[in-house]
Amino acid sequence: MIKVDQLFKSFSGKTVLHGISFDVGAGEVLGFLGPNGAGKSTTMRIITGFLEPDSGEVSICGHDISSEPVLAKQRIGYLAESAASYQDMKVSDFLNFTADIRALHGSQKTAAIERVIELCHLGPVLNQSIENLSKGFRQRVGLAQALVHDPDVLILDEPTDGLDPNQKHEIRSLITSLGQSKAIIFSTHILEEVESVCTRAIVVHEGLIVANGTPLELKSRTPSGRLDDFFRAITQGAVARQADLGAHA
């Protein structure tokens, strides 16, 4: 459902993506990992059509994001890192607005909004302005707008950022449930989330994919059997140079 092929991107003469390629199918939750500045958010912004690559292609459910942007974006739900929204709007108004943008009308629109209110537990704050919400509730509103049109593809940039432990558990459970039928890319710095939620993980370092496998496979590549040890080793170069990793899958 998501096909990324040989993405290159530079800013001010500095190359930040060096030929990124991977696929994500229906029923997969792909953990997208890497240290700050590795190229994760740039890749996600290109996949969602917010940035143009210097070269390379992205296909969403068979639609090229550059040549068929409307058809491709209709299939995507995107939660950006900052959970962007109109801060002065009430939650209920914002959800109505995003449903309108997604061309939902009448009973279909009403049902869609009610569904995401329940999924994201927004009932208590519907009449509050987004600017007055806690960071956790703002993140939930951002997730609700990504889900309102029930997309086939979800791109989630650190969706549990700012949530308390109970809220994190709820969002992880929701992502696991959604991942049974959707293709999901899930960026996080919390490695325990990768183990609990993701069916596969990619590690990006300095604009390159340096590892690609299930959490169990990645853990098996370090003597301790710990994902955090593998992550540190591979992003610090100790493991990345070992040819037997099969990193550039």
DSSP string, 19-70: EEEEEE-TT-EEEEE--TTSSHHHHHHHHTTSS--SEEEEEETTEETTTSHH
Residue 87 pLDDT > 90: no
23-75 confidence digits (pLDDT tens): 999 999 999 999 988 999 899 999 999 999 999 999 999 999 999 999 999 99
Q: What is the pLDDT of residue 33?
A: 94
Q: What is the pLDDT of residue 84?
A: 65
Mean pLDDT over residues 144-159, rounded? 94
Mean pLDDT over residues 200-224, rounded? 94
Residue tagged 């995401």 (tokens) = 116
**pLDDT band (50, 70, 90) for residue 242:** very low
- Average pLDDT of the residues of the chain: 90
Superfamily holding 2-75+152-245: P-loop containing nucleotide triphosphate hydrolases (3.40.50.300)
Residue 241 pLDDT > 80: no
User: What ranges do the domains of the chain cover?
Assistant: 2-75+152-245, 84-150
Residue 249 pLDDT > 70: no
Of 8-22, 69-83, 102-116, which range is least confident? 69-83
Mean pLDDT over residues 92-98, rounded? 96
**pLDDT band (50, 70, 90) for residue 169:** confident
CA torsion, points 93, 94, 96, 101, in degrees to nearest 10? 140
